[in-house]
């Protein structure tokens, strides 16, 4: 057996075969260096995306809370309005009752 293929394959580990277009230096890199750079970049981008997601979720929560505080229904205010409407209704009922008594009195005095 000739081990030439195995030696050629092993030599690829040290061969500078990969050119990274986003790298500031234009020197070719080995497969191992290129893979390490790729994994590092993926990790950095993933961490950056996670931070951006957390910031966006925080902004969403703040926006939702602000919107609810501005446009939401205040239960205390609604309860106060109900009491006021009830008092107004009772006052109107008393006025009608008094008017009916007055009308009946006038009607009975004319007969």
Provide the pLDDT confidence category of residue 95 given band limits of 50, 70 and 90. very high
> What is the C-alpha separation between 19 and 26, in angstroms, rounded?
7
- Structural contact between residues 19 and 26, judged by C-beta atoms closer than 8 angstroms: yes
> What is the C-alpha separation between 64 and 59, in angstroms, rounded?
8
- Structural contact between residues 12 and 31, judged by C-beta atoms closer than 8 angstroms: yes
> What is the C-alpha separation between 91 and 43, in angstroms, rounded?
72
pLDDT single digits (tens) 48-88: 999 999 999 999 999 998 888 887 778 888 999 999 999 99
pLDDT of residue 34: 82
| Average model confidence (pLDDT) across the chain | 87
Percent over 90 (pLDDT), the chain: 48
> What is the C-alpha separation between 107 and 111, in angstroms, rounded?
7
């Amino acid at each position: 057996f000739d081990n030439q293929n195995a030696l050629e394959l092993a030599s690829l580990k040290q061969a500078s075969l990969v050119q990274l277009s986003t790298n500031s230096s234009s020197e070719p890199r080995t497969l191992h260096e290129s893979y390490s750079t790729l994994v590092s970049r993926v990790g950095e981008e993933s961490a950056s995306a996670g931070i951006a997601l957390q910031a966006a979720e925080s902004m969403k929560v703040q926006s939702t809370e602000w919107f609810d505080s501005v446009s939401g229904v205040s239960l205390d205010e609604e309860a106060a309005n109900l009491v006021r409407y009830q008092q107004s209704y009772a006052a109107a009922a008393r006025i009608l009752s008094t008017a009916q008594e007055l009308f009946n009195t006038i009607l009975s005095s004319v007969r």
